[in-house]
Chain A
Amino acid sequence: MNDRLENLAKQLGTDAANRLDVEATARKVVERLREQPVRRIAWVQRTWLRIAAALVLVLGGAVVASRLTPGRRPGVSAHPAHLVADDLGDLSTDELRDVLATFDELISPDSVAVPEGSTDLHELDAQQLRAVLRSLEG
């Protein structure tokens, strides 16, 4: 059975091979090689163009995303203090404490500038709380 398979395999494709015009094929191959000597340079150029286009897309996307994201605008700090500090004058003592409580969660306790002699924000009056918040603005 193995011999039969091998004999059949040797017969496979013989028609196609016999139909092939070998001289014409050799001529066409040489012509194509002559016409397109090395496509490598074109390939390299195409590849670099694709890389450059991809970089432009990525950078452009990043710029657009940064402009669309709130608090990420150039020159504007993302720190929440700036979002509330504009209206500090309108806030009551309790509201100011709420804001500071939020900061407590966002900022480490060491970075909060508490006036000397005070250990608890609840002991501060409205003026002192405003001072603490403004100090957080940097």
Chain B
Amino acid sequence: MAQPHMVPAAHDTALIAAWQAGDEQAAAELVRRHARPLARFLASAGAPDSDVDDLVQETFIRAFRSVDRFRGQCQFRTWLLTIGGNVLKDFGRRAARRKVLPLDEAVRDVTGDPHEHAEAREAEAMLAAGLQQLPRLQREVFLLRAQQGLEYAEIAAALATTPGAARVHYHHAVRRLKEIVK
């Protein structure tokens, strides 16, 4: 199930060091490498499609500004995804204050004629809606594991928990999602 990382960690580390030394192109390269997986993670975690671009940018800005705190405890991408989770949480709070469409409703907003959607598409929509019903930690562990293909040890390092706890969160998430998507 777990997929090998496409980007060697050492390479990312070198780019981070170059960015810290003032190389803007190193930052741009890191964005190129990780922007799409980050967008996929954010969209799956409840970001409205129209805001994914902004949230991706905000996540990278926040990551580059606090990159001194990245100590290589996990892959750069994993660390980036956890920052994305925080950015999305802040976005949700702001959206709630502005009383705009809540995230979960935005996720459920599958437009078009239902008959035109394939069964898989409907199941995806159900899964997306189900993910919004999970506690944040369960949702993020599930996505990091099932979508990003990370090992429990890697997830645990990024979320400051233990591999055993990450495994438990994952299984709780799967059990609840099965009830929703069956």
A1: nearest residue on chain B (CB-CB)?
A: B178
Whether A13 lies near B40 (C-beta < 8 A) is yes
- Closest B residue to A9 by beta carbon equals B146
- Residue of chain A at shortest CB distance from B33: A22
A9, B50: Cα distance in complex, Å: 20
Chain A contacts for B182, CB-based, 8 A: 1
Q: Mark A24-50, 1 if CB is under 8 A from B, else 0.
A: 011111101110001110000000000
How many residue pairs, one in A and one in B, have C-beta atoms under 8 Å apart? 112
Name the prevailing secondary structure of the A interface residues.
helix
Interface size class of B (residues with CB under 8 A): 35 or more
Chain B residues, CB < 8 A from A12: 40, 43-44, 124, 127-128, 131, 143, 147
Whether B1 pairs with A20 at a CB distance below 8 angstroms is: no
Q: Is the CB of A17 within 8 A of B127?
A: no
**Interface pair A13/B60, CB less than 8 Å apart:** no
Q: Interface extent on A, as a size class?
A: 20 to 34
Residues of B participating in the A interface, judged by any CB pair closer than 8 Å:
1, 24, 27-29, 31-32, 35-37, 39-44, 47, 49, 52-53, 56-57, 60-61, 64-65, 120, 123-124, 127-128, 131, 142-143, 146-147, 174, 177-178, 181-182
**Chain A residues in the interface with B (C-beta under 8 A):** 1-2, 4-6, 8-23, 25-30, 32-34, 38-40
